Structure 1
Amino acid sequence: MADERTFVIVGASLTGAKAAETLRADGFTGRIILIGEETERPYERPPLSKDHLHGKEGAREKAFVHEPGWYAEHDVDLRLATRVTHLNPATHVLVLDGVDELRYDRLLLATGSRVRTLDVPGHDLHGVRYLRTLDESDALLEHLRTAANVVVIGAGWIGLETAAAARHHGANVTVVEQASLPLRQVLGDEVAAVFRDLHEAHGVTFRFGTGVASFGGTGALSSVVLTDGTELPADVAVVGIGIQPNTELAVDGGLAVDNGVLVSANLATSAPDVYAAGDVVNLDHPLLGRRVRVEHWANALNGGKAAGKALLGSEEVVYDRVPYFFSDQYDLGMEYSGFAVPGEYDTVVFRGDPAVRDGKAPEFIAFWVKDGRVLAGMNANVWDVTDPIQALVRAGYKGTAVDLAKLADPDVPLDQLLG
């Protein structure tokens, strides 16, 4: 008997595409409608600030989740350049572009997030750029190829990866950051200092403890004026001050929202037959024992797969993945697994020397530890250790402590620390 149900996915993103893929792979034969506001088919975001922004050949095409014909071949109704303007969970109805009604049996919100903007004088000058979409990455790449002076506002992951790309293209780069170190709110002082030293070794200038007062120029950007009065020459200014979840549709539908759409461990929202996944979700994380909103690629990838199974009604869906992200900057590649908030851990244990020497990126693993329990681990230029690091994190969050001397000893295999 044919399945006559309609599953609608709002958000033609990595999350949405993987949910659709999972539905078909797990045997769903009903109707799948995948709706997105952009004109491009679903793509992954990491290349936008990494390989594509460096101008690597083929990087743009590799960003797409599926080949162009995949959606038709798998009977997925992909509707691009379409905005969902209203959600009525009581009637299971969506309104598209303010006009067309669409009824669903089950709904996945994968609406993602958008950049936080900087509203200061001159913010609309040509040359003030953001980086979130493929089109924005295309435009920024062309600008970086000719820019002499680039100012990056915000020393988070996007800001630092953009700074590295700008140096790759030969620009003079200044990073403006209100904190005292890059990535300080994510990594804490001990590891944040490594990234400061790495970028300084590659010629980046940091301006810490200040912000942007205005952008200068007539028609096109020519300078960035800081709150301390400094005026920096700039052909391009890239604003990377964080993102915020796109919760408007959820709010319109009366769903529970607090720094994202609130979902349970099986990605169910407060409305019947409505699920959510990806950047937009504030998850009741069963391993971490707290609500978290994770804004990284792995969460979009794995959350989409889990959401597909949840839409099918699987009772076994428990989304308890260890948070994971990665970054590539110059000759440093890193992977981070876990969740450690600065101020909520006792110490950082290093396995290897984290110092940047003679401009060369170090090889080390850092562990964030509380009461002997590993809360997070980051491997820098040390590979094939993600699985044992995540095992340590899982054990740590379940209450298992490890010997810190052995944790720091490179001669002790990581997979032996748990006995």
Structure 2
Amino acid sequence: MNVTVIGAGLAAAHVVTELRAQGYDGDVVLVGDEPHAPYERPPLSKGLLLGSAEPDSVFVHPRAWYDEHGVDLRVGTPATALDLDRRRVRLGATEVAYDQLVLAPGAAPRRLAMADTSGAPVHYLRTLDDALRLRERLTGHVAIIGAGWIGLEVASAARQAGAEVTVLESAPLPLQRVLGDELATVFADLHRAHGVDLRLGAEVTGIEHDGDRAVVRTAGAEPLVADLLLVAVGVTPNDGLAASAGLATDDGVLVDARLRTDDPRVLAIGDVANHDHPVLGTRIRVEHWDTAIQHGKHAARVLLGSDEPYTRLPYFFTDQYDLGMEYVGHVDRQGYDELVVRGDLAARSASVLWLRGDRVLAGLHLNDWDAIDPLRAVVGGTATDAVRDPSVPLAELM
């Protein structure tokens, strides 16, 4: 069996790592369009920007590992076409044959046309090179459009680097769709307490440049002048290669419970995979570190004959200033009807459960590092009276 993996990111790296760990000794080709070997993205908006992590620390393996383990690593080599009938991937002027193919091309930052054409110092953050460029510019006045995870983590790093920071968010609260009003308010208060000018309900109407500075215009407010403008308004899955080949796509590549596409010889994993999750009972596309790792490991086992579905619940974390958070589960568009808080949200030391009916949808902790295992045990289960009672310690629910 010849395995080809497209997209040399974290998910792809864990496919080839797990294949070798499981004893597979066949041919493996790993193809990526970036010039780097696979690396982890969380440090790009955390330690790397803060200066507490150096570039060499982000790589999954040293470059020599791939040669030592017989992995044909081809970086700086974008895949340009996929022929499902012939089982070939075109890489510029050459082709690679496969018996089994794993698509892991990730996602790309959503662009803001008015920023890209403004002539202003505009940055996006997705790649290692993006982060290294941004790290050199976190001085003066930094403006950020978008108060999602990336926008807020960069805001935290910039404030800790001594920059003045303004964050513009169109929603009434940061992270509102993900966390709901109560937890979103915690993050709004956190950033304001650290000196961030957080402007909510801000509609950006225009972006210009004034020399080497950015001028951002918003409805009903004076223009904002900044030394650097970061656009952080989400990502879009890189599903064009799959769609052009005829694979089913809809906000990513559609995969079944076992991460297989509608072509049985092709899997899709990581940010690009729109997964039919057997536990959540819905399709979900997850853009987080843990899912990339676990998708990669599971895909390798499927390639080697496993028929087990992927059942792990989504997990993500963030570090902002003195706040650490871990979240497990998923609250879909139907929302939740009950929030159970153990601890003190205002003091940022708490655990939280989101409930709908008799089901525990998700859980989160703020600076409570013993809570993640009990949260994992509870989420996805039944919302009993004990679960609903904040006086019952979380550990007793396991």
TM-score (structure 2 length as normaliser): 0.97
**Residue 49 of structure 2, aligned match among 35, 50, 53:** 53
Counterpart of 2:325, as a letter, is M
Q: CA deviation at 1:416?
A: 2.8
Q: CA deviation at 1:182?
A: 0.4
Counterpart of 1:116, as a letter, is R
For residues 122-171 of structure 1, what are the alpha-carbon distances to aligned partners after superposition, in whole Å with 9 as ceiling and x for unaligned? 64535210000000000000000xx2111110000000001001101111
Whole-angstrom CA distance in 2 between matches of 1:122 and 1:309: 42
Counterpart of 2:213, as a letter, is L
Counterpart check, 1:402 vs 2:394: no
> Would the aligned equivalents of 2:13 and 2:60 in 1 still touch at CA under 8 Å?
yes
For residues 174-231 of structure 1, what are the alpha-carbon distances to aligned partners after superposition, in whole Å with 9 as ceiling and x for unaligned? 1100000000010010110000000000001111112322222245233222233431
Q: CA deviation at 1:386?
A: 1.5
Aligned in 2, Cα 1:309/1:124: closer, same or farther, shift over 3 Å?
farther
Q: CA deviation at 1:233?
A: 1.6
Whole-angstrom CA distance in 1 between matches of 2:109 and 2:229: 15
Please say which of residues 114-123 and 85-94 is displaced more in the overlay.
114-123
1:416 corresponds in structure 2 to 396
Counterpart check, 1:328 vs 2:319: yes
Whole-angstrom CA distance in 1 between matches of 2:169 and 2:120: 22
Counterpart of 2:229, as a letter, is A
For residues 93-128 of structure 1, what are the alpha-carbon distances to aligned partners after superposition, in whole Å with 9 as ceiling and x for unaligned? 11111x212110100000110000111166453521
1:196 corresponds in structure 2 to 188
Counterpart check, 1:239 vs 2:239: no
1:136 corresponds in structure 2 to 130
Gap regions ≥5 residues in structure 1: 357-361
Whole-angstrom CA distance in 2 between matches of 1:294 and 1:197: 27
Aligned in 2, Cα 1:122/1:74: closer, same or farther, shift over 3 Å?
closer
Whole-angstrom CA distance in 2 between matches of 1:234 and 1:49: 20
Aligned in 2, Cα 1:121/1:309: closer, same or farther, shift over 3 Å?
closer
Please say which of residues 29-38 and 369-378 is displaced more in the overlay.
369-378
Q: CA deviation at 1:405?
A: 6.8
1:22 corresponds in structure 2 to 18
Aligned in 2, Cα 1:6/1:324: closer, same or farther, shift over 3 Å?
same
Please say which of residues 228-237 and 183-192 is displaced more in the overlay.
228-237
TM-score (structure 1 length as normaliser): 0.92
2:360 corresponds in structure 1 to 374
1:359 corresponds in structure 2 to none
Q: Name the Cα RMSD after superposition.
A: 1.5
Whole-angstrom CA distance in 1 between matches of 2:37 and 2:90: 21
Q: CA deviation at 1:272?
A: 2.6
Aligned in 2, Cα 1:407/1:80: closer, same or farther, shift over 3 Å?
farther
> Would the aligned equivalents of 1:122 and 1:216 in 2 still touch at CA under 8 Å?
no
**Residue 206 of structure 2, aligned match among 204, 207, 214:** 214
Whole-angstrom CA distance in 1 between matches of 2:120 and 2:107: 24
**What are the equivalent positions in structure 2 for 1:132-211 lying under 5 Å apart?**
132-144=126-138, 147-211=139-203
1:83 corresponds in structure 2 to 78
**Residue 345 of structure 1, aligned match among 336, 344, 358:** 336
Q: Secondary structure at the match of 2:90?
A: strand
Q: CA deviation at 1:172?
A: 1.1
Counterpart of 2:37, as a letter, is R
Counterpart check, 1:62 vs 2:53: no
For residues 57-104 of structure 1, what are the alpha-carbon distances to aligned partners after superposition, in whole Å with 9 as ceiling and x for unaligned? x4322211011210000000000000111111111111111x212110
Aligned in 2, Cα 1:62/1:384: closer, same or farther, shift over 3 Å?
farther
> Would the aligned equivalents of 2:359 and 2:380 in 1 still touch at CA under 8 Å?
no
Between the aligned residues of both structures, percent identity stands at 48
> Aligned pair count?
398
Counterpart of 2:65, as a letter, is W
Aligned in 2, Cα 1:243/1:405: closer, same or farther, shift over 3 Å?
closer
> Would the aligned equivalents of 2:9 and 2:40 in 1 still touch at CA under 8 Å?
yes
Whole-angstrom CA distance in 2 between matches of 1:167 and 1:138: 17
> Would the aligned equivalents of 1:122 and 1:215 in 2 still touch at CA under 8 Å?
no
**What are the equivalent positions in structure 2 for 1:103-114 lying under 5 Å apart?**
103-114=97-108
Structure 1 segments of 4+ aligned residues over 3 angstroms from their partners: 121-124, 404-407
> Would the aligned equivalents of 1:185 and 1:341 in 2 still touch at CA under 8 Å?
no
Gap regions ≥5 residues in structure 2: none
Aligned in 2, Cα 1:274/1:172: closer, same or farther, shift over 3 Å?
same
**Residue 378 of structure 2, aligned match among 392, 400, 406:** 392
